[in-house]
Amino acid sequence: MEMNRSTRFNLKLQNHTTTLLLLLLLLIGAYASQRYQVQWDWTAEKRRSLSEQTIKAMQQLPPDISATLFFRKSDGEDQRLLAMELLQQYQLINPKMEIRSVDVALDPAAARQAEITTNGTVVLRSGERSEKVTELSEEALTNALIRLTRDSKKQIRFVTGHGEPALAGKNPQGLDVAVALLKGEGYQVDTLNLAAVEQIPADTAVVVLAGQRKPLLPIERERLNAWLVDKGRLLLLSDPGTTSGLEEILQSRGLRWQPGIVIDPVARLFGGGPTTPLVSQYDTGHAITKNLASASFFPEAQALLLDSSVTGVQTTRLFSAAEKGWVETGDLSSGQVEFNPDSDVKGPVVLGAALEQGKQRWVVVGDADFVVNSYINFSGNGDLFLNMVRWLSEDENFIAIKPKKISDAGLMLQGSSLLLIFWMLVLVIPLAMVATGVLIWRRRRQQ
Protein backbone atom coordinates (compact mmCIF):
# COMPACT_ATOMS: atom_id res chain seq x y z
CA MET A 1 0.00 0.00 0.00
CA GLU A 2 1.41 3.37 -1.06
CA MET A 3 1.95 5.67 1.89
CA ASN A 4 0.97 9.22 1.01
CA ARG A 5 -0.26 12.14 3.01
CA SER A 6 -3.92 11.10 2.79
CA THR A 7 -3.19 7.51 3.85
CA ARG A 8 -1.14 8.62 6.85
CA PHE A 9 -3.95 10.97 7.90
CA ASN A 10 -6.53 8.18 7.67
CA LEU A 11 -4.32 5.83 9.74
CA LYS A 12 -3.80 8.47 12.42
CA LEU A 13 -7.55 9.19 12.47
CA GLN A 14 -8.30 5.50 12.78
CA ASN A 15 -5.79 5.09 15.63
CA HIS A 16 -7.11 8.11 17.51
CA THR A 17 -10.71 6.97 17.03
CA THR A 18 -9.89 3.49 18.35
CA THR A 19 -8.09 4.98 21.34
CA LEU A 20 -11.03 7.27 22.13
CA LEU A 21 -13.48 4.37 21.88
CA LEU A 22 -11.36 2.28 24.26
CA LEU A 23 -11.15 5.16 26.74
CA LEU A 24 -14.92 5.66 26.47
CA LEU A 25 -15.52 1.94 27.18
CA LEU A 26 -13.20 2.11 30.18
CA LEU A 27 -15.06 5.15 31.53
CA ILE A 28 -18.43 3.45 31.04
CA GLY A 29 -17.12 0.32 32.76
CA ALA A 30 -15.73 2.34 35.67
CA TYR A 31 -19.03 4.21 36.10
CA ALA A 32 -21.08 1.00 35.90
CA SER A 33 -18.87 -0.69 38.51
CA GLN A 34 -19.60 2.17 40.92
CA ARG A 35 -23.29 2.51 40.03
CA TYR A 36 -24.24 -1.18 39.95
CA GLN A 37 -23.10 -3.94 42.28
CA VAL A 38 -22.67 -7.27 40.53
CA GLN A 39 -20.81 -10.36 41.60
CA TRP A 40 -20.39 -13.92 40.39
CA ASP A 41 -20.02 -16.88 42.71
CA TRP A 42 -17.87 -19.58 41.13
CA THR A 43 -17.32 -21.60 44.31
CA ALA A 44 -18.31 -25.26 44.15
CA GLU A 45 -21.23 -25.06 46.60
CA LYS A 46 -22.07 -21.35 46.06
CA ARG A 47 -20.64 -20.61 49.49
CA ARG A 48 -20.50 -16.87 48.73
CA SER A 49 -24.18 -16.64 47.77
CA LEU A 50 -27.33 -16.34 49.84
CA SER A 51 -29.93 -19.10 49.76
CA GLU A 52 -33.04 -18.95 47.60
CA GLN A 53 -35.13 -18.57 50.77
CA THR A 54 -33.25 -15.40 51.73
CA ILE A 55 -33.46 -13.93 48.22
CA LYS A 56 -37.21 -14.59 48.09
CA ALA A 57 -37.73 -13.04 51.52
CA MET A 58 -35.61 -9.97 50.71
CA GLN A 59 -37.54 -9.30 47.52
CA GLN A 60 -40.74 -9.04 49.56
CA LEU A 61 -39.31 -6.58 52.11
CA PRO A 62 -39.46 -2.77 51.86
CA PRO A 63 -36.27 -1.05 50.64
CA ASP A 64 -35.91 1.37 53.58
CA ILE A 65 -33.79 -0.95 55.71
CA SER A 66 -30.50 -0.09 57.38
CA ALA A 67 -27.96 -2.32 59.11
CA THR A 68 -25.44 -1.05 61.67
CA LEU A 69 -22.65 -3.29 62.89
CA PHE A 70 -21.34 -2.47 66.38
CA PHE A 71 -17.84 -3.80 66.92
CA ARG A 72 -14.69 -3.15 68.88
CA LYS A 73 -11.60 -2.70 66.71
CA SER A 74 -9.31 -3.82 69.53
CA ASP A 75 -10.93 -7.28 69.38
CA GLY A 76 -9.66 -7.84 65.84
CA GLU A 77 -10.60 -6.92 62.29
CA ASP A 78 -11.40 -10.37 60.90
CA GLN A 79 -14.85 -10.71 62.46
CA ARG A 80 -15.85 -7.24 61.33
CA LEU A 81 -14.81 -7.97 57.75
CA LEU A 82 -16.74 -11.26 57.73
CA ALA A 83 -19.85 -9.54 59.08
CA MET A 84 -19.63 -6.71 56.54
CA GLU A 85 -19.13 -9.21 53.73
CA LEU A 86 -22.32 -11.02 54.77
CA LEU A 87 -24.27 -7.75 54.98
CA GLN A 88 -23.01 -6.71 51.55
CA GLN A 89 -24.51 -9.89 50.09
CA TYR A 90 -27.88 -8.67 51.34
CA GLN A 91 -27.17 -5.25 49.86
CA LEU A 92 -26.72 -6.85 46.44
CA ILE A 93 -30.34 -8.00 46.59
CA ASN A 94 -31.57 -4.66 47.97
CA PRO A 95 -29.20 -1.90 46.72
CA LYS A 96 -31.09 0.70 48.78
CA MET A 97 -30.17 -1.05 52.01
CA GLU A 98 -27.76 1.11 54.01
CA ILE A 99 -24.82 -0.53 55.78
CA ARG A 100 -22.41 1.04 58.23
CA SER A 101 -20.14 -0.03 61.07
CA VAL A 102 -19.55 1.67 64.43
CA ASP A 103 -16.54 1.16 66.69
CA VAL A 104 -18.06 1.19 70.18
CA ALA A 105 -14.73 2.39 71.61
CA LEU A 106 -14.79 5.49 69.40
CA ASP A 107 -18.52 6.13 69.62
CA PRO A 108 -19.76 4.78 72.98
CA ALA A 109 -22.79 7.09 72.91
CA ALA A 110 -24.18 5.34 69.81
CA ALA A 111 -23.66 1.96 71.50
CA ARG A 112 -25.48 3.11 74.64
CA GLN A 113 -28.34 4.55 72.64
CA ALA A 114 -28.76 1.25 70.78
CA GLU A 115 -28.40 -0.66 74.09
CA ILE A 116 -25.56 -2.81 72.75
CA THR A 117 -24.25 -5.39 75.21
CA THR A 118 -22.52 -7.86 72.86
CA ASN A 119 -19.63 -7.11 70.53
CA GLY A 120 -20.48 -7.85 66.91
CA THR A 121 -24.20 -7.02 67.27
CA VAL A 122 -26.04 -5.92 64.13
CA VAL A 123 -28.98 -3.53 64.56
CA LEU A 124 -31.52 -3.64 61.73
CA ARG A 125 -33.90 -0.70 61.33
CA SER A 126 -36.95 0.01 59.21
CA GLY A 127 -38.76 3.21 60.08
CA GLU A 128 -39.23 3.32 63.86
CA ARG A 129 -38.78 -0.42 64.35
CA SER A 130 -35.53 -2.25 65.05
CA GLU A 131 -34.20 -5.76 65.58
CA LYS A 132 -30.90 -6.91 67.09
CA VAL A 133 -28.88 -9.85 65.81
CA THR A 134 -26.01 -11.21 67.89
CA GLU A 135 -25.49 -14.41 65.88
CA LEU A 136 -24.03 -13.34 62.55
CA SER A 137 -25.43 -16.04 60.27
CA GLU A 138 -27.65 -15.95 57.22
CA GLU A 139 -30.51 -17.65 59.04
CA ALA A 140 -30.42 -15.23 61.98
CA LEU A 141 -30.22 -12.13 59.76
CA THR A 142 -32.97 -13.24 57.39
CA ASN A 143 -35.39 -14.11 60.17
CA ALA A 144 -34.63 -10.82 61.93
CA LEU A 145 -35.39 -8.89 58.73
CA ILE A 146 -38.72 -10.68 58.36
CA ARG A 147 -39.60 -10.00 62.00
CA LEU A 148 -38.63 -6.36 61.51
CA THR A 149 -41.28 -5.80 58.86
CA ARG A 150 -44.06 -7.87 60.40
CA ASP A 151 -47.12 -5.85 61.43
CA SER A 152 -47.46 -7.46 64.87
CA LYS A 153 -46.10 -10.26 67.01
CA LYS A 154 -48.09 -13.46 66.78
CA GLN A 155 -49.47 -15.09 69.92
CA ILE A 156 -48.53 -18.67 70.77
CA ARG A 157 -50.62 -20.07 73.62
CA PHE A 158 -49.80 -23.21 75.61
CA VAL A 159 -52.75 -25.06 77.13
CA THR A 160 -52.43 -25.59 80.90
CA GLY A 161 -54.40 -27.33 83.63
CA HIS A 162 -53.82 -30.97 82.69
CA GLY A 163 -50.36 -31.67 84.07
CA GLU A 164 -48.46 -30.06 81.17
CA PRO A 165 -44.79 -29.04 81.65
CA ALA A 166 -44.34 -25.57 83.16
CA LEU A 167 -43.30 -22.68 80.91
CA ALA A 168 -40.92 -21.32 83.57
CA GLY A 169 -38.94 -22.52 86.53
CA LYS A 170 -35.85 -24.03 84.88
CA ASN A 171 -37.04 -27.57 85.53
CA PRO A 172 -35.38 -30.24 83.33
CA GLN A 173 -38.89 -31.29 82.31
CA GLY A 174 -40.07 -27.73 81.74
CA LEU A 175 -40.45 -25.68 78.57
CA ASP A 176 -38.28 -22.66 79.43
CA VAL A 177 -35.91 -23.19 76.48
CA ALA A 178 -38.75 -23.73 74.01
CA VAL A 179 -40.39 -20.50 75.18
CA ALA A 180 -37.07 -18.63 74.86
CA LEU A 181 -36.65 -19.93 71.30
CA LEU A 182 -40.12 -18.74 70.36
CA LYS A 183 -39.56 -15.29 71.87
CA GLY A 184 -36.26 -15.09 70.03
CA GLU A 185 -38.23 -15.57 66.81
CA GLY A 186 -40.44 -12.61 67.68
CA TYR A 187 -43.47 -14.54 68.96
CA GLN A 188 -45.41 -13.68 72.10
CA VAL A 189 -45.95 -16.67 74.40
CA ASP A 190 -48.74 -17.06 76.92
CA THR A 191 -50.73 -19.75 78.72
CA LEU A 192 -54.30 -20.80 77.95
CA ASN A 193 -56.70 -22.29 80.47
CA LEU A 194 -59.57 -23.64 78.41
CA ALA A 195 -61.74 -24.13 81.48
CA ALA A 196 -61.47 -20.46 82.47
CA VAL A 197 -62.23 -18.79 79.12
CA GLU A 198 -65.46 -18.82 77.16
CA GLN A 199 -63.55 -18.80 73.90
CA ILE A 200 -59.96 -18.81 72.72
CA PRO A 201 -58.73 -15.21 72.16
CA ALA A 202 -59.08 -14.08 68.56
CA ASP A 203 -55.41 -13.02 68.33
CA THR A 204 -54.18 -16.58 68.98
CA ALA A 205 -52.00 -17.77 66.11
CA VAL A 206 -51.20 -21.27 67.41
CA VAL A 207 -52.46 -23.37 70.30
CA VAL A 208 -49.90 -25.80 71.74
CA LEU A 209 -51.10 -28.85 73.65
CA ALA A 210 -47.90 -30.51 74.88
CA GLY A 211 -47.34 -33.25 77.41
CA GLN A 212 -50.73 -33.28 79.09
CA ARG A 213 -51.30 -36.02 81.69
CA LYS A 214 -55.10 -35.76 81.87
CA PRO A 215 -57.65 -35.51 79.03
CA LEU A 216 -59.49 -32.31 78.23
CA LEU A 217 -62.86 -31.80 79.88
CA PRO A 218 -65.92 -31.90 77.58
CA ILE A 219 -66.37 -28.12 77.76
CA GLU A 220 -62.67 -27.64 76.97
CA ARG A 221 -62.93 -29.94 73.95
CA GLU A 222 -65.95 -28.00 72.78
CA ARG A 223 -64.17 -24.64 73.04
CA LEU A 224 -61.01 -25.91 71.38
CA ASN A 225 -62.93 -27.59 68.58
CA ALA A 226 -64.95 -24.42 67.92
CA TRP A 227 -61.70 -22.50 67.47
CA LEU A 228 -60.19 -25.26 65.32
CA VAL A 229 -63.17 -25.34 62.98
CA ASP A 230 -62.91 -21.57 62.54
CA LYS A 231 -59.18 -21.13 61.86
CA GLY A 232 -57.49 -23.86 63.84
CA ARG A 233 -53.72 -24.00 64.22
CA LEU A 234 -52.91 -26.77 66.69
CA LEU A 235 -49.61 -28.35 67.72
CA LEU A 236 -50.41 -31.58 69.56
CA LEU A 237 -47.52 -33.35 71.29
CA SER A 238 -48.76 -36.44 73.09
CA ASP A 239 -46.78 -39.06 75.06
CA PRO A 240 -47.52 -42.80 75.11
CA GLY A 241 -50.12 -43.91 77.62
CA THR A 242 -51.84 -40.52 77.80
CA THR A 243 -55.24 -39.47 76.51
CA SER A 244 -55.75 -36.00 75.09
CA GLY A 245 -59.51 -36.16 74.70
CA LEU A 246 -59.13 -35.26 71.02
CA GLU A 247 -58.99 -38.84 69.74
CA GLU A 248 -62.41 -38.70 68.04
CA ILE A 249 -61.58 -35.39 66.34
CA LEU A 250 -58.26 -36.79 65.12
CA GLN A 251 -59.85 -39.97 63.85
CA SER A 252 -62.40 -37.95 61.87
CA ARG A 253 -59.40 -36.41 60.11
CA GLY A 254 -57.75 -39.73 59.35
CA LEU A 255 -55.29 -40.03 62.22
CA ARG A 256 -55.16 -42.30 65.27
CA TRP A 257 -52.59 -43.55 67.74
CA GLN A 258 -50.87 -46.93 67.52
CA PRO A 259 -50.92 -48.55 70.99
CA GLY A 260 -47.48 -49.23 72.46
CA ILE A 261 -44.03 -47.63 72.66
CA VAL A 262 -41.63 -47.28 69.73
CA ILE A 263 -38.43 -49.32 70.06
CA ASP A 264 -35.39 -48.32 68.00
CA PRO A 265 -32.24 -50.47 68.50
CA VAL A 266 -30.20 -48.05 66.35
CA ALA A 267 -30.52 -45.37 69.05
CA ARG A 268 -28.00 -47.26 71.17
CA LEU A 269 -25.28 -46.39 68.66
CA PHE A 270 -25.81 -42.71 69.56
CA GLY A 271 -25.84 -43.22 73.31
CA GLY A 272 -29.60 -43.40 73.69
CA GLY A 273 -31.85 -46.14 74.97
CA PRO A 274 -34.00 -48.35 72.73
CA THR A 275 -37.08 -46.33 73.74
CA THR A 276 -35.56 -43.14 72.28
CA PRO A 277 -36.12 -43.47 68.53
CA LEU A 278 -33.84 -41.52 66.22
CA VAL A 279 -35.11 -39.65 63.16
CA SER A 280 -32.56 -38.77 60.50
CA GLN A 281 -34.73 -38.92 57.37
CA TYR A 282 -37.47 -36.35 56.92
CA ASP A 283 -40.16 -35.82 54.32
CA THR A 284 -38.56 -33.42 51.85
CA GLY A 285 -41.89 -32.43 50.30
CA HIS A 286 -43.21 -30.48 53.28
CA ALA A 287 -42.17 -26.98 54.40
CA ILE A 288 -41.57 -28.12 57.99
CA THR A 289 -39.00 -30.78 57.20
CA LYS A 290 -37.66 -30.15 53.70
CA ASN A 291 -34.55 -28.27 54.88
CA LEU A 292 -33.81 -30.14 58.10
CA ALA A 293 -30.42 -31.83 58.16
CA SER A 294 -29.79 -32.76 61.81
CA ALA A 295 -31.23 -35.86 63.46
CA SER A 296 -33.93 -35.59 66.13
CA PHE A 297 -34.51 -37.73 69.22
CA PHE A 298 -37.87 -38.67 70.74
CA PRO A 299 -37.74 -40.17 74.26
CA GLU A 300 -40.57 -42.70 74.73
CA ALA A 301 -42.67 -42.04 71.65
CA GLN A 302 -45.85 -43.54 70.25
CA ALA A 303 -46.63 -44.18 66.60
CA LEU A 304 -49.31 -42.68 64.38
CA LEU A 305 -51.59 -44.42 61.89
CA LEU A 306 -52.60 -42.33 58.88
CA ASP A 307 -55.75 -42.88 56.85
CA SER A 308 -55.38 -41.12 53.51
CA SER A 309 -58.86 -42.14 52.40
CA VAL A 310 -60.56 -39.38 54.43
CA THR A 311 -61.83 -36.83 51.95
CA GLY A 312 -61.18 -33.12 52.31
CA VAL A 313 -58.10 -33.60 54.50
CA GLN A 314 -54.51 -33.42 53.26
CA THR A 315 -52.35 -35.61 55.47
CA THR A 316 -48.54 -35.57 55.21
CA ARG A 317 -46.13 -37.90 56.96
CA LEU A 318 -43.39 -35.64 58.27
CA PHE A 319 -40.97 -38.22 59.63
CA SER A 320 -40.72 -41.90 60.51
CA ALA A 321 -38.46 -43.88 62.82
CA ALA A 322 -37.47 -47.38 63.91
CA GLU A 323 -36.70 -48.72 60.46
CA LYS A 324 -35.03 -51.65 62.18
CA GLY A 325 -37.29 -51.48 65.23
CA TRP A 326 -40.91 -51.98 66.16
CA VAL A 327 -43.82 -50.85 68.33
CA GLU A 328 -43.66 -52.73 71.62
CA THR A 329 -47.08 -53.59 73.02
CA GLY A 330 -45.84 -55.71 75.93
CA ASP A 331 -44.58 -54.87 79.42
CA LEU A 332 -41.27 -52.96 79.59
CA SER A 333 -40.88 -53.00 83.38
CA SER A 334 -38.23 -55.75 83.20
CA GLY A 335 -35.97 -53.57 81.05
CA GLN A 336 -35.70 -56.29 78.39
CA VAL A 337 -37.12 -55.66 74.93
CA GLU A 338 -37.59 -58.24 72.21
CA PHE A 339 -39.67 -58.22 69.07
CA ASN A 340 -42.74 -60.44 69.24
CA PRO A 341 -44.18 -60.98 65.75
CA ASP A 342 -47.55 -62.03 67.19
CA SER A 343 -48.28 -58.79 69.04
CA ASP A 344 -45.70 -56.14 68.10
CA VAL A 345 -45.77 -53.96 64.96
CA LYS A 346 -42.63 -53.96 62.84
CA GLY A 347 -41.12 -50.62 61.84
CA PRO A 348 -40.68 -48.15 60.29
CA VAL A 349 -43.50 -46.23 61.95
CA VAL A 350 -44.77 -42.66 61.62
CA LEU A 351 -43.95 -40.33 64.54
CA GLY A 352 -45.11 -36.98 63.16
CA ALA A 353 -47.75 -35.81 60.70
CA ALA A 354 -49.20 -32.56 59.36
CA LEU A 355 -52.89 -32.12 58.51
CA GLU A 356 -54.55 -29.45 56.40
CA GLN A 357 -58.29 -28.97 56.01
CA GLY A 358 -59.38 -25.68 54.53
CA LYS A 359 -57.82 -22.99 56.73
CA GLN A 360 -57.05 -25.48 59.48
CA ARG A 361 -53.50 -26.66 60.12
CA TRP A 362 -52.53 -29.40 62.57
CA VAL A 363 -49.19 -30.90 63.51
CA VAL A 364 -49.37 -34.08 65.58
CA VAL A 365 -46.32 -35.80 67.13
CA GLY A 366 -46.29 -38.94 69.23
CA ASP A 367 -43.95 -37.47 71.83
CA ALA A 368 -43.78 -34.33 73.97
CA ASP A 369 -40.48 -34.89 75.75
CA PHE A 370 -38.39 -33.88 72.73
CA VAL A 371 -39.22 -30.19 73.43
CA VAL A 372 -38.56 -30.12 77.18
CA ASN A 373 -35.43 -28.46 78.56
CA SER A 374 -33.52 -31.75 78.83
CA TYR A 375 -33.84 -32.61 75.13
CA ILE A 376 -34.72 -29.58 73.01
CA ASN A 377 -31.05 -28.67 72.48
CA PHE A 378 -30.23 -32.20 71.27
CA SER A 379 -29.22 -32.14 67.60
CA GLY A 380 -32.20 -31.05 65.47
CA ASN A 381 -34.95 -31.07 68.12
CA GLY A 382 -35.08 -27.29 68.49
CA ASP A 383 -35.13 -26.62 64.73
CA LEU A 384 -37.90 -29.16 64.24
CA PHE A 385 -40.03 -27.58 66.97
CA LEU A 386 -39.54 -24.05 65.59
CA ASN A 387 -40.35 -25.16 62.06
CA MET A 388 -43.61 -26.69 63.27
CA VAL A 389 -44.67 -23.43 64.91
CA ARG A 390 -43.53 -21.39 61.90
CA TRP A 391 -45.60 -23.47 59.50
CA LEU A 392 -48.66 -23.45 61.76
CA SER A 393 -48.49 -19.66 62.12
CA GLU A 394 -48.00 -19.27 58.35
CA ASP A 395 -44.45 -18.01 58.76
CA GLU A 396 -42.96 -20.33 56.12
CA ASN A 397 -40.29 -17.74 55.31
CA PHE A 398 -38.88 -18.41 58.78
CA ILE A 399 -38.26 -22.10 58.05
CA ALA A 400 -34.69 -22.98 59.03
CA ILE A 401 -32.13 -22.37 56.30
CA LYS A 402 -30.07 -25.46 55.62
CA PRO A 403 -26.35 -24.73 55.87
CA LYS A 404 -24.39 -25.16 52.68
CA LYS A 405 -22.31 -28.29 52.45
CA ILE A 406 -18.63 -27.36 52.33
CA SER A 407 -16.34 -29.89 50.77
CA ASP A 408 -12.58 -29.93 51.15
CA ALA A 409 -11.20 -28.57 47.90
CA GLY A 410 -7.59 -28.59 49.04
CA LEU A 411 -4.80 -29.57 46.66
CA MET A 412 -2.46 -32.20 48.05
CA LEU A 413 0.91 -32.53 46.23
CA GLN A 414 3.83 -34.86 46.79
CA GLY A 415 7.45 -33.66 47.02
CA SER A 416 8.33 -34.48 43.41
CA SER A 417 5.23 -32.64 42.14
CA LEU A 418 6.11 -29.58 44.20
CA LEU A 419 9.65 -29.54 42.80
CA LEU A 420 8.33 -29.88 39.25
CA ILE A 421 5.93 -26.93 39.70
CA PHE A 422 8.67 -24.86 41.36
CA TRP A 423 11.20 -25.36 38.53
CA MET A 424 8.55 -24.83 35.83
CA LEU A 425 7.45 -21.51 37.31
CA VAL A 426 10.84 -20.23 38.44
CA LEU A 427 13.14 -21.48 35.69
CA VAL A 428 11.61 -23.15 32.61
CA ILE A 429 8.79 -20.71 31.79
CA PRO A 430 10.84 -17.51 32.42
CA LEU A 431 13.78 -18.86 30.34
CA ALA A 432 11.42 -19.87 27.53
CA MET A 433 9.95 -16.37 27.45
CA VAL A 434 13.43 -14.79 27.40
CA ALA A 435 14.58 -17.14 24.62
CA THR A 436 11.47 -16.35 22.57
CA GLY A 437 12.09 -12.63 22.96
CA VAL A 438 15.74 -12.94 21.90
CA LEU A 439 14.78 -15.04 18.87
CA ILE A 440 12.20 -12.49 17.72
CA TRP A 441 14.70 -9.64 18.23
CA ARG A 442 17.42 -11.35 16.15
CA ARG A 443 15.02 -12.10 13.29
CA ARG A 444 13.93 -8.48 13.13
CA ARG A 445 17.57 -7.32 13.10
CA GLN A 446 18.30 -9.60 10.16
CA GLN A 447 15.39 -8.26 8.08
Q: Is the pLDDT of residue 51 over 80?
A: no
Three-state DSSP state, 156: strand
Q: Is the pLDDT of residue 294 over 80?
A: yes
Provide the pairing of β-strand 349-357 with 314-321: antiparallel
Return all residues near 301 (Cβ < 8 A) that are at least 6 apart.
239, 240, 261, 262, 277, 321, 351, 365, 366, 367
Section 151-167 average pLDDT = 92
Assess contact for 302 and 366: CB atoms under 8 A. yes
Which pLDDT does position 280 carry in this prediction?
A: 87
CATH superfamily of 155-332+339-398: Class I glutamine amidotransferase (GATase) domain (3.40.50.880)
**Calpha distance 90→99 (Å, rounded):** 10
Which pLDDT does position 426 carry in this prediction?
A: 81
Please, what is the angle between helix 78-93 and helix 138-148, to 10°? 50
Please, what is the angle between helix 176-184 and helix 381-392, to 10°? 60
pLDDT digits (tens, 9 = 90+) for 382-437: 999 999 999 999 887 666 555 454 444 556 666 677 788 878 888 888 888 888 88
Tell me the pLDDT band of 42, cut-offs 50, 70 and 90: low
Which pLDDT does position 405 carry in this prediction?
A: 47
pLDDT digits (tens, 9 = 90+) for 53-99: 788 778 777 888 999 999 888 777 788 888 898 999 898 888 889 99
Asked if CATH classification 1.10.1040.10 holds for the domain at 52-148, the reply, yes or no, is no
Of 351, 353, 356, the closest CA to residue 228 belongs to 356
H or E, element range at 273: none
pLDDT digits (tens, 9 = 90+) for 304-322: 999 988 889 999 999 999 9
Q: Is the pLDDT of residue 44 over 80?
A: no
Candidate from 348-357, 372-381, 423-432 with smallest mean pLDDT? 423-432
Domain ranges in the chain with CATH number 3.40.50.880: 155-332+339-398
Mean pLDDT of the chain: 86
Give the best-scoring range by mean pLDDT among 109-118, 250-259, 396-405: 250-259
Of 190, 240, 249, the closest CA to residue 216 belongs to 249
Which pLDDT does position 279 carry in this prediction?
A: 93
Domain ranges in the chain with CATH number 3.40.30.10: 52-148
